[in-house]
Structures are given as C-alpha cells and as structure tokens.
Amino acid sequence: MARHRICVAAPQVPFLRGGAELHAELLVQALAAQGHEVDMVTLPYTWTGDRSSLEQALAWRMVDLAVEVNRVPTDLVIATKFPSYLVRHPNKVAWIFHQQREVYDLHGTAFGPFSQSEEDQGLRQALVEMDLHALGEARALFTNSGNTAARLKRYCGTDARPLYAPPKLYEDLHPGPYGDYLLYVGRLDRIKRIDLAIEALHETRAPIEFRVAGRGPHLAELQQLAHELDLQERVKFLGFVSDEEVVDLYANCFGVVLTPHDEDYGFTTLEAFFAGKPVVTTADAGGVLEFVEDEVNGFVEPPEPAQLAERMDALNSDRGLCERLGTAGRELVREKVSWSIALDALTATLD
C-alpha cells in the first residue's frame, strides 16, 4: 500500500473530550497503523447559539491545507464534525460525526436554542448555507451512522454512506460473568437522558444497582434526582474511570442501559456488544437502533420508566437471557464494524 500524507480535521471544544473527539483520534491512529503519515488539524470551537458560533466556524474556512509543507503536499483531508468540513483542499472527503444539531433536528425542541426572531432565524439560515456549500465541495461524503446520514438527507438533501468505526477498546472488551449491576458509560449530558434510566430504576421490582461511569454537566442534577427518589445506595456515580476499569465494568455487568434522545451513533452500544452484554434502550434512541434489535440482542421500549423497568427486571431475573442476547450482539458487531471497511472507503480518492 502506498504511503500518503493525510490530515484529519476536527474541532476541539476547550476542556471537553467526548465521543466525536475520541472518534477523530481513533481515525488518526488507524490511518497511521495502515502506514500513512497522518496529522490532526484542529481549531477551538464552542457552540454558543449566537453570532460568535458563525464567526468561529468561518475560522475553519481560512485554513487552506492545499498549501505544501516543505514542498510536500497533503494528499487527502478527512474532515469530521461541523465546522471542520469548511476547511479547503482539492481532495477533501467528509466523515460527518454530526452537523450542528441545534440548527437541524434539535431546532424547535427543548434542546434547541433558536427563537423565531429575525436575528436567530437569519443566523440559522447562514449556518445551513455554509453547510451546503462546504459539503458540496467534498469528493465523497460519509457519516458515522445511518441515523446521521438520514438527517443529512432530510435537512440538506445530500446523500452519504454510513461507515461504522470500532470503539477504542474493542480489542480488549470481552464477555465476563453476568454480575449484579446495570451499567452506563459516557458523558453525563442532558440529551443522554440518564435521568430516564434512573426513573426507570425507581420502578423496578428488584433493588437493582446502576453504575454510571463518566463526567459531564448533568451530574449534579442526576445526583439530586437519585437523592429525591431515595436511590443513593443503588445509583453509583463513578466519575472518570480508566480504560482498564471500563473493560472490567463491562465484563462484569449483566446489561447496559442507553436512553439517549436520537443519538448520532453511540460508542457505548458497540462497547456493550463487544463485551457480550445486552442493551436496554428506547424507541427514539436514534443510531443505537442500528444495532439493538428488540428481543434479539437487547430490548427496545418507549421512553417510559415503567416499561424500561420491566425489561431491567427481566434481565436481572434471567442470566441465561442476558448471555443469549449479549452473545447475539457480540456476533453482530464483530461482523459489521471494522476499521478496514472504513479506511478503504475514506481513502478511495487516493487511487
């Protein structure tokens, strides 16, 4: 395989590292392992919902990666989430982890900041036009999931091919004993709806333990909710955990609970399945549903605490069921998710 110079473009919110940031880092590592010379190009970007968001996005447009470094050109630029795909290069492809969702599917919901004022709507339209122009320059368009591709088609009229990236620890995750707790691993953001999972826990017949690993801005509210529902002894907030601890937590849980609102992709789903554990999720969980099939490798229920609680109790009372569902999930992701498939597509314009 020929060695090429490749830049991965990815914005960085100061002091925040979530799934999109990890996704970009893993892409750099995978390309380097394939023998390419790879570098990450990043600029700070913080979504504010006002004019400064537009100004920060335009900073990416000032970056021209076609400029040669030491008389050696960059052969390929792989842009990721908004606004990195505004970067300039003649061989630019975009692997969209997500657009600025507040402009699209979150607009008009509790998670969207835009009012109907002329100023807000003008800003929103400017961001849409910016997307259309920048994505129109890309020689190929990919997304991290079918859900993200469907949004792109719905709001921008643009087709893209889903490419699934393995999670960071996919080679280390493994099935273990189906222990005595349910698990969530990830950022504690409001859109992840961990409060729904806690409310469901309050409805279970058995005193199931729920371990929550991760940090985020919603932590204090979740702790307060657990206190109000008298679940302090059953909901364990673990904070940041090391990779070794993550592997151990997955290996020893009896299931994973994921209740996000319209998730883009969800590394946690894949982590659960690579560890051979079933997933309890909701019918509006978005990208999670590209992997979780009801009663095949997990459970899919309406976002109602009582119905989620019933499924939690079902797993808790039957470890054989946990193993059967978890094994089916593991077989699915081992067949469907690989770096070789993703990298072959992303580097096709180099041929």
**pLDDT at residue 1, rounded to an integer:** 64
Kindly give the interhelix angle for 194-203 and 219-228, rounded to the nearest 10 degrees: 10
Q: How far apart (Å, rounded) are the C-alpha atoms in residues 162 and 102?
A: 21
208 domain residue, yes or no: yes
User: For residue 322, is it within any domain?
Assistant: yes
Token pair in block for residue 85: 């795909």
SS3 349: helix
In a domain, 175, yes or no: no
Q: Domain span at residue 19?
A: 5-163
Q: Are residues 108 and 223 in the same domain?
A: no
| Each residue's pLDDT tens digit, 117-172 | 787 788 888 888 999 999 999 999 999 888 889 888 998 899 999 999 898 899 99
The amino acid at 344: D
> What is the secondary structure of 34-77 as a DSSP string?
TT-EEEEE--B----SSHHHHHHHHHHHT-BTTS-BTTB---EE
Give the C-alpha separation, 213 to 228, whole Å: 20
pLDDT at 289: 94
| Contact between 270 and 337 (Cβ < 8 Å) | yes
Residues 159 and 224 in one domain: no
For 72, phi and psi rounded to 5 degrees?
Answer: -115, 125
3-state secondary structure of 94: strand
Same domain? 219 vs 299:
yes
DSSP string, 127-184: HHHHHHHHHHH-SEEEESSHHHHHHHHHHH----EE-PPPPTTTTT-------SEEEE
Residue spans of the chain under pLDDT 50 = none
Assess whether 94 and 209 both reside in one domain: no
The secondary structure of residue 101, as a DSSP letter, is G
The secondary structure of 246-311, three-state, reads HHHHHHHCCEEECCCCCECCCHHHHHHHHCCCCEEEECCCEHHHHCCCECCCEEEECCCHHHHHHH
Note whether 35 and 128 are same-domain residues. yes
- 253 found inside a domain: yes
The C-alpha atoms of residue 118 and residue 116 are separated, in whole angstroms, by: 6
284 and 217 in one domain? yes
Residue 201 lies in a domain: yes
Paired tokens of 131: 């997307």
Amino acid 101: pLDDT = 78
343 domain-assigned: no
The reply to whether 118 falls in a domain is yes
Biggest CA-to-CA distance, the chain: 68
Which residue in 71, 68, 45 sits closest to 56, CA to CA? 45
Separation of alpha carbons 208 and 297, rounded Å: 20
CATH at residue 310: 3.40.50.2000
Domain termination site, one of 163, 198, 224: 163
* Dist. CA 35–CA 1, nearest whole Å: 8
Where a domain ends, among 108, 135, 163? 163
Number of domains making up the chain: 2
Question: Whole-angstrom Cα distance, residue 127 to residue 53?
Answer: 9
Q: Considering the domain boundaries, does residue 71 fall inside one?
A: yes
Q: How many CB atoms lie within 10 A of CB 151?
A: 22
Residues 47 and 132 in one domain: yes
Same domain as 139, residue 232: no
Domain boundary among 108, 134, 163: 163
Do 265 and 231 belong to one domain?
Answer: yes
Element (H, E) at 5: strand 5-9
CA distance 295 to 283: 13
Co-location of 120 and 147 in the same domain: yes
CA distance 257 to 183: 6
- Note whether 152 and 187 are same-domain residues: no
Q: What is the pLDDT of residue 143?
A: 93
Both 13 and 149 in one domain: the answer is yes
